[in-house]
Structure 1
């Protein structure tokens, strides 16, 4: 008997809660249309189509528009009609609203989904990615130009390059030594000379590596757009390598030995091109991709490092300090 009373109590409480939620119809203050159903606001059924929602909205908007309806509360009603239309015309928003009506007990979920959609920027992810790539490409290009201009300016300050550029400018008749042109100040003549010498250096100095002249198709945007081409080119290169050198055992050509040397040293194309031509030829001639040559090269580099360390003035000072004071230090044993 007691068990039956307990079950009856639980049933009554459940019915009361169900009635409470049903009376509110799952409507929450501050969400969507508030305590009024968006469907009731537009005077349509829940299974209404998108076209019928548009028709109902146009009809009610004309009826309650503040310019035509001067009755008290018409402006607030018009705003509520507009809110209901904005919610029901969007498929995702309508689905969230219908879920709230069917599951009124999940209060926190409804608040989360409602405000997440309004706080989160409604921006197409493709636009975000496109803008990010464009910014990166612009920074790349401007940075390369800065490095290139730095290299040209540094070359102009070096007597060897500046003297050679001046000789070429005189030979081409771009500069006339010992003659001052009328109507130009000393500063203007100097600026004109710098412009001519800079152009000569740019035309004749082969700057490679990280300071080479920028080209537009090296930026990230072009790399992404032409990535299928780069992929096909790599597959062709790899297949050719396997066929010629792995399967047929042919001797390596100039391009191949450069690649093997660069890979063995762990250098990128830019880093490799920044080396002096004599240094590059020396490294290629040593065939560093062969194990014995590579071991010998590493031992030589280690010896060079040690020699450079011994010749370093700071290291010598440290050695002298340790020699003169190292024996006098107080230890735990003393």
Structure 2
């Protein structure tokens, strides 16, 4: 029994050893030149230069071109020559191929390198990033202009703003008198009036927030280019703040007080600027840059809002609806 087991082990070892040469071959079907050596296909060596490889390819391509070479394997021969040249002319693919010849047992890594070259985009990543940023910047810029134009059209359609704009346009000479209007069609007069109204509104309206007039410096490309300058300004501003108000303990100026109010409100600069002037003046007069006073002010506002909502009939109806038919309630109303 022991003798049979020993013989079985010996037989298995012989099978494994006999299979090793085929397992460790450097040529893998479906990769590069398949079972052939790319260098042998072009009759060059691993030490051959790129120029020598190109010269060998041109010579073989002329010789084995299907129009000249009439053998049965003409197409296969020509295709093998073209494939070998495509691999060896590219420095990165040639490097991967040489690595496969030197390390034939690392199959998975060779498969990965081969298909990574095939699947990876040929375009430079930097170009892709640049184009992406450009597209985002264009969409950003035109969407801002669209919102701004919508705001101008809305103001021009409001009677109170429209009447004021027409009066200012007449005073500034943007609208012609009745005598000078002769000879013009109604469409021309209408267009002239609309252009004058728009000009007046654009020059006098204070549009802030998301509908404000777009600036070229707000575009993503410009922001990225100027980011080092913004970073320096940010650092210098904070160093100045630390020096003046923490180390030297100087009193806050009006700008600093408004900044602290904005920070307490937790809004951006554009959002703070969009707050009505009288509301900002009220917060300033109540010294809301002081944290304790702001906390007290917020409690007061929250309480006022709670009372206002409690007295609102719409809010009471909404609460009743949420209580009776809101989420988590199961009803069987036929309607």
Q: Shorter-chain TM-score category?
A: 0.7 to 0.9
CA change 1:284–1:56 in 2 (3 A) is farther
Count of residues in correspondence between the two structures: 320
1:148–1:212 Cα contact (<8 Å) kept:
yes
Change beyond 3 A, Cα 1:291–1:4: same
Q: Show the 5 A alignment for 1:120-269.
A: 120-176=120-176, 181-269=181-269
Q: How has the CA–CA distance of structure 1 residues 318 and 212 changed in structure 2, closer, same or farther, with 3 Å as cutoff?
A: closer
Instruction: Give unmatched runs, 5+ long, in structure 2.
Output: 323-335
1:39 and 1:46 in contact (8 A); partners too: yes
Q: In structure 2, what is the equivalent of residue 297 of structure 1?
A: 297
Q: For 1:283 and 1:64, how far apart are their aligned partners in 2?
A: 88
Q: Contact 1:210 / 1:274 at 8 angstroms: preserved in 2?
A: no
Residues 21-40 of structure 1 mapped to structure 2, 5 A cutoff: 21=23, 25-40=25-40
Could you list the runs of 5+ residues in structure 1 that have no partner in the other structure?
323-334
Distance 1:321 1:40 in 2: 84
Between the aligned partners of 1:307 and 1:135, the Cα distance in structure 2 is: 49
TM-score (structure 1 length as normaliser): 0.84
- 8 A contact 1:209–1:269 mirrored in 2: no
- Distance verdict in 2 for CA 1:318–1:27, change over 3 Å: closer
1:310-329 aligned at under 5 Å gives the runs 310-317=310-317
Take 2:132 and 2:286, find their aligned partners in 1: how far apart are those partners? 44
Q: State the alpha-carbon separation in 1 of the partners of residues 219 and 317 from structure 2.
A: 48
Aligned counterparts of 1:286 and 1:52: Cα–Cα separation in 2: 85
Q: How far is 1:85 from its partner?
A: 1.7
- Counterpart Cα distance in 1 of 2:49 and 2:242: 62
Match of 2:19 in 1: 17
Deviations 1:78-103 (A, max 9, x none): 33222112212323322332343345
Q: 1:318 to 1:232 in 2, by over 3 A?
A: closer
> 1 CA distance for matches of 2:83 and 2:108?
21
**CA spacing shift, 1:243–1:21, aligned 2, 3 Å:** same
How far off is 1:294 after superposition?
Answer: 1.2
Using structure 2 for the length normalisation, give the TM-score. 0.84
Q: Give the whole-Å Cα distance in 2 for the aligned partners of 1:306 and 1:50.
A: 81
